[in-house]
Amino acid sequence: MNRPESGPRVLLKHLREVMAEALEAQEQLDKIVMHIAANMVADVCSVYVLRSDDNLELYASVGLNPDAVHEVSLKVGQGLVGTIAANARSLNLEDAQKHPAFAYLPETGEEVFNSFMGVPILRAGRALGVLVVQNKEGRIFGDVEIEALETTAMVIAELIAAGQLAGLGKQGSGLDLTRPLMLTGVPLAEGIGFGKVVLHEPRVVVTDLFNEDAQGEIERLGAALGKLRISIDGLLQRGEVTKDGEHREVLEAYRMFANDRGWIRRMEEAISNGLTAEASVEKVQSDNRARMARQSDPYLREHLHDLDDLANRLLRELMGKPHGPMDENITGDFVIVARNMGAAELLDYAGKNLRGLVLEEAAPTSHVVIVARALGIAVVGQLSDVISISESNDTIIVDGESGDVHIRPTEEVEVSYAEKVELLVRQQALYENMKNEPSLTKDGVAIDLLMNAGLLMDLPQLENVNAAGIGLFRTELQFMVAASFPRPGEQEELYRSVIKAANGKPVTFRTLDVGGDKVLPYLRSVHEENPALGWRAIRLSLDRPGLIRTQVKALLKAADGGSLKIMLPMVTEVREITRAKEIIDHEVELLKRFGHEMPTELKLGVMIEVPSLLWQLDELMAEVDFVSIGSNDLFQFIMASDRGNAKISNRFSPLSRPFLRALHQIALKADEHETEFSLCGEIAGQPLAAMALVALGYRAISMSPASLGPVKAMTLNLDKSKLEPLLLDALAKPSNDTPLLNCWRTLPILMEFRISVAFATLIRFFFAQFVRKPVPTFRIVL
C-alpha cells in the first residue's frame, strides 16, 4: 500500500486539524484513531483509557469490532495492553499471540491480527492509558513509526488531563486522573491538614502543542538552553559554591545534563515531528519520569531526578515563568507537596493558610520537619512519586498521626476526617482547660514543661500553651532564613524581643549551630564526607571567633541587665568550653568598659550531644552552670544512625536500653554535682518517651509547642513513684533480655491515666511494639 504522506509531522498536522474542529469528544477520538491508522498503514488503531477502578477501557477503535468500544476492558497488568500500562513501557511485537502476556478478547475480533505496537499514554511519567496499532501481516514497527505513536500518545494524554474525555465510557467510574487515592508514608508531625494541593515546584501546563515552524522552535529551544546554562554557570560562580562541596556537585551535574547531546537530540526530534519546544520538553520529561518509576538503582534514580528538575527549569525558561513556587496562585487552605525543601522555603508559605506538608523524602529530624512541627503543621514524608500523581488544586487530606495521605478523597472520607478534626478540637479544648494547672505528677513531682523556639513567629505560643519558658532558642534559624548575614543590631533586636516576650520566664539561647546539614547560603562551605561529624557548631565558631563574638555581644546587650542563659552546641571536649569562656569574658569586659549594663546573672551551659562527653561528665559539670541533652544528635551518634536517612530512621528506638542508660547516667552525675539539667530533643514531645524521662529523674524537658498539651496530660496523671522502680529494674537487665518496659506490672500505672484519644493511641502503639500482647480495654475521658 502506498503512503504518499506519512510520518509524525504529517500525523500531527492531521491531529491539529481534528482538534480544531467543533466535534463531540467521542467523534474527535474516533477521527484521531482513524488518522493514526491511515498514517501508519495499520489495520487497527485503538485507544484504551485507564479508569479509576484500575480497568483499561476501550474508548475508540478502527479495525476492531465497533460494538466492543466502551464494553471491553482489561485490568492493569492483564494482557498486552495491561502490561504496557503497568510498566509504562512500549511493546513492539511481530507475533503478539506468542507473547506470554497475550490475552484473547473474543468480543474485539482481534484474533486475525498478528503484529502489535502499543505505547503508554503518559503524563508526568504516569500511564493514563495505552495507544495500540495492529496489523494482520507480521512485522516489527520502525523507529519513525514508534516516535509517531509516542508523540500522538502525548496529545491524547493532554485530552485526558484536560477532562475532555470525562463524559465518555461506562457510568459510575471516573478517569484514573480523577480517582481518589490513598497513600501511606511516614508520619513526621502530628495533626490533620485539609486543603488544596500546592506543588512546591508547580507543574508548567503546556497548552500549545503543535508547531508551525520547526526550525523556529528548535532555535527557541536552543536559546532557552543557553539561558539555562548561563543561570547554572552563574550559580557556580557564586561565593558559596566556588570550592568543592555537595551543592557544587549537584550544579555540576545540572550543567552536564544541560549540555547532554542525547537529551537535546530527543527534544529536537520531537520538534521535528511537529511539537512545540515546550511540548517536546514535556514529552521527553514524561518518558524520563516513566524510566524513573521503573528504576530501583538509587544512584540512577537520583540522576533521573536531577534531569527531571532540569526539565522543569527549562520549561520555565521557555514560557517565561519564574522558578520556584508561584505564591500569587495560592488561595484558601492548602497543603504543600514537594520532593524535599529547606526550612527557609517552608517559612515563605507560613501564615498563608498552610495546613500540611507532604514530602517524597525527609525524616523526623529533618530541619524542615522540625520547623513544620513548631508551626503546628501536619507532615507526612517518604511518599515516592507523590508529585507525579498530584495535580495543583486537587483536594488533599494529610493525616500526620497515621501517615495516610488522601488525594481527591471521596465524600465519605472527607466526612470521616471532619469528625476526626472535631475530636481533635475537643482534645485541644481539654489541653486548654489544663494549661494553667501546675505541672505536677500525681505524687507531687514538679516537671517544667518548656518549649523550643527559633523565630519571632514562635513567641506567641509561649503564652498560648503556658510553657514554663523557652528551653531551647535556636539562634541559627534567624541566619538560615536571612538573605545575608544578620547585622549585630538585627541580632540584638531579635534577642531583646524574645526576652521581652518571655516576660520573666527563662530563655536558653543556643549559640550559632550551623554547618553540617544547616548550610547558610551566604557562608562559604567546604565539602565534607560526613558533615554531621564535621566543621559545625562550636567548632566553626571557635575557628571563626568573629561569629560567636558578634552573637555574644548582641545577647549581652539584649539582656538589659536581666538574667541570661547561653548554651554551647556540639561540645566534644571540656577545653572547648574554656576557650568559649575566654571569648565571652572578653566581650563582657569590653562592654563594661563602654558603660553597657551587664546581666545580673549570666549562666553558661552546654548541650550534650556528642558521646565523648559521657566520659567527661565530672569535669564538665564542674565547668558549667547547666547542661541540656540534645537527644536528636546524641541518639544518632550513639546508634551510628543518620537521622536524615529514611532507610534507617525508624530502625533504632530512643526507648532502647543503651540510650536510656546514657540519659540516666547524665541525670545521676548532674544530681551529684548539683548542676541544673534538662532535655530538649524530639523525644521530649512524645508522651511515652517523656514518661520515661520523668522516671529517669528529668525535671525539665523542652519540646515543640504543639506537644505540650499531650505531655502535660500524661504528667498530671502519672504516678512517678510507681513507674520509676519498674523502669530502673528494666534498665538493669541485659539488653538481649525481654524488650524494655515489657512488664505487665506497668499496666496499673497506665490504667490510672485519664487520657485523650491521642494518648490512648500512643499506649496501644506502646503495647504493640514492646509488649506484643492485646491491649486491655481502658476508659477514654475527653
Distance CA 144, CA 558 (A): 72
CA 452 → CA 374, 477, 507, 548, distances in Å? 8, 12, 10, 21
Distance CA 710, CA 757 (A): 10
**CB-side neighbour CA atoms (13 Å) of 496:** 13
Task: Tell me the Cα Rg of the chain.
Answer: 31
Phi/psi for 313 (5° steps) reads: -65, -40
User: Helix H segments across 273-410?
Assistant: 277-294, 298-319, 343-347, 367-374
Catalytic member of 14, 200, 367, 664: 367
User: Helix H segments across 639-778?
Assistant: 657-672, 687-695, 708-716, 720-732, 747-751, 757-766
CB atoms within 10 A of CB 269: 18
- Indicate if 680 belongs to the active site: yes
Contact 68, 47 (CB under 8 A): no
- Indicate if 200 belongs to the active site: no
Helices 657-672 and 631-638 sit at what angle, rounded to 10 degrees? 130
CA 565 → CA 461, 559, 587, 627, distances in Å? 20, 10, 15, 11
Phi/psi for 319 (5° steps) reads: -100, 5
Q: How far apart are the first and last CA of the chain?
A: 79
Distance CA 410, CA 85 (A): 25
* DSSP string over 65-111: -GGGTTT-EEETTSHHHHHHHHHT--EEESSGGGSTT----TTTTGG
Q: Which residues are catalytic?
A: 367, 680
